[in-house]
């Protein structure tokens, strides 16, 4: 697939949240000169013809996009089929509308995280329409986890195509091993950012509150357009039920878009390798 044919996928279920996802997809696709694809998952193959009629009617009557979005209607589970489709079409990224985390909606955070874990390309979860035409003000939370280093590829991507500035938000640790881990990650990121002329600033959490809460407070105070996170490697059932920390960021009450990246084998030697770029 040629560069200009790469797809920005948006999940579509005929709801307001899916319209938000599409609006974000339009902004990103415009900046990258990519096409847009809509994904709809059905429970039974027999439902596909009726959904195709709905999809065609909506696309022709509602969207003022050139070219018009392509669509993919599949039988399956949202927890696997969305990721399968994104792999098949070599999507640049997937945009998905999701809900907050108040009360029982805590489960919505883990629901989104389970969908994200099925994909090789980044997922952007959104809860509201875009605040601006692109993501130019991005927060990157950094703790001791080694996979944090992988965020540099996509930081470079958003710097290159959207001229983004990054606010590195360093976790506060007192354990010696954790301190060494976070310092190693910060050194790696800042060295890479300087080499690639990526605009950034560095801030350290106070440690007075839970780190994820401080991340959200910092992001709100700095009017972040998005938060870029690495998901937990080899996430398991316990994380889904009890809550990996990133699910609280994904379903944040401030409704800030979250760019979630699953850890992959790190390849930095030959240059930029994010999503086939």
Q: What is the pLDDT of residue 64?
A: 74
pLDDT in tens, 112-121: 777 888 788 9
Determine the CATH number of domain 137-276.
3.40.50.620
Q: What are the backbone dihedrals phi and psi of residue 115, each rounded to the nearest 5 degrees, phi first?
A: -65, -45
Q: Is the dihedral of CA 177, 170, 240, 119 positive or negative?
A: negative
Q: Taking the CA of residue 169 as centre, how many other CA atoms within 13 Å lie in the half-sphere pointing to its CB?
A: 25
Q: What are the backbone dihedrals phi and psi of residue 122, each rounded to the nearest 5 degrees, phi first?
A: -65, 150
Considering only 150-154, 173-177, 193-197, 246-250, which range has the smallest mean pLDDT?
Answer: 246-250
Q: For residue 155, give the H/E element and its range.
A: helix 151-162
Q: Domain 3-97 is classified in which CATH homologous superfamily? A: HUPs (3.40.50.620)
100 pLDDT band, cuts 50/70/90, is low
Quote the mean pLDDT of the chain: 85
**Whether the predicted pLDDT of 272 surpasses 70:** no
Matching fold, domains 3-97 and 137-276: yes
Q: What is the pLDDT of residue 244?
A: 57
Considering only 112-116, 196-200, 211-215, 218-222, which range has the smallest mean pLDDT?
Answer: 112-116
182 pLDDT band, cuts 50/70/90, is very high
Q: What is the pLDDT of residue 63?
A: 72
Q: What is the pLDDT of residue 275?
A: 42
231 pLDDT band, cuts 50/70/90, is confident
Distance CA 223, CA 221 (A): 6
Q: What is the pLDDT of residue 241?
A: 38
**Whether the predicted pLDDT of 143 surpasses 80:** yes
234 pLDDT band, cuts 50/70/90, is low
Distance CA 37, CA 86 (A): 10
Going across the sheet that includes 7-11, the strands are: 70-75, 35-42, 7-11, 93-97, 123-126, 258-261, 226-230, 137-142, 165-170, 200-204
Q: What is the pLDDT of residue 265?
A: 52
Mean per-residue pLDDT, 39-68: 88
Domain boundaries in the chain? Answer: 3-97, 137-276
Question: Which structure tokens are listed for 243?
Answer: 């809550």
Mean per-residue pLDDT, 244-258: 86
Between residues 145 and 109, which one has the greater pLDDT? 145
**Whether the predicted pLDDT of 66 surpasses 90:** no
| Helices 176-195 and 151-162, axial angle in degrees (round to 10) | 30
**Whether the predicted pLDDT of 235 surpasses 90:** no
**Whether the predicted pLDDT of 96 surpasses 60:** yes
């Amino acid at each position: 697939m040629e560069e200009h044919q790469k797809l920005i996928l948006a999940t579509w279920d005929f709801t307001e949240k899916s319209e938000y996802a599409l609006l974000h997809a339009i902004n990103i696709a415009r900046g990258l000169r990519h096409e847009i694809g809509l994904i709809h998952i059905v429970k039974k193959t027999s439902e596909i013809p009726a959904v195709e009629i709905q999809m065609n009617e909506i696309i022709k009557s509602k969207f003022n996009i050139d070219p018009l979005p392509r669509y993919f209607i599949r039988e399956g589970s949202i927890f696997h089929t969305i990721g399968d489709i994104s792999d098949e079409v070599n999507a640049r990224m997937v945009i998905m509308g999701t809900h907050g985390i108040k009360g029982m909606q805590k489960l919505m955070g883990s629901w989104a995280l389970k969908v994200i874990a099925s994909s090789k390309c980044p997922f952007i979860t959104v809860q509201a329409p875009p605040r601006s035409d692109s993501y130019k003000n991005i927060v990157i939370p950094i703790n001791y986890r080694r996979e944090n280093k992988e965020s540099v590829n996509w930081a470079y991507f958003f710097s290159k195509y959207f001229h983004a500035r990054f606010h590195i938000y360093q976790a506060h640790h007192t354990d010696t091993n954790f301190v060494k881990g976070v310092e190693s990650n910060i050194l790696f990121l800042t060295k890479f950012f300087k080499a690639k002329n990526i605009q950034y600033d560095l801030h350290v959490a106070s440690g007075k509150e839970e780190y994820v809460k401080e991340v959200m407070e910092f992001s709100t105070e700095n009017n972040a357009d998005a938060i870029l996170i690495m998901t937990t490697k080899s996430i398991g059932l316990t994380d889904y039920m009890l809550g990996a920390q990133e699910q609280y960021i994904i379903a944040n009450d401030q409704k800030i878009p979250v760019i979630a990246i699953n850890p992959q084998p790190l390849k930095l030697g030959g240059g930029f390798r994010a999503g086939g770029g």
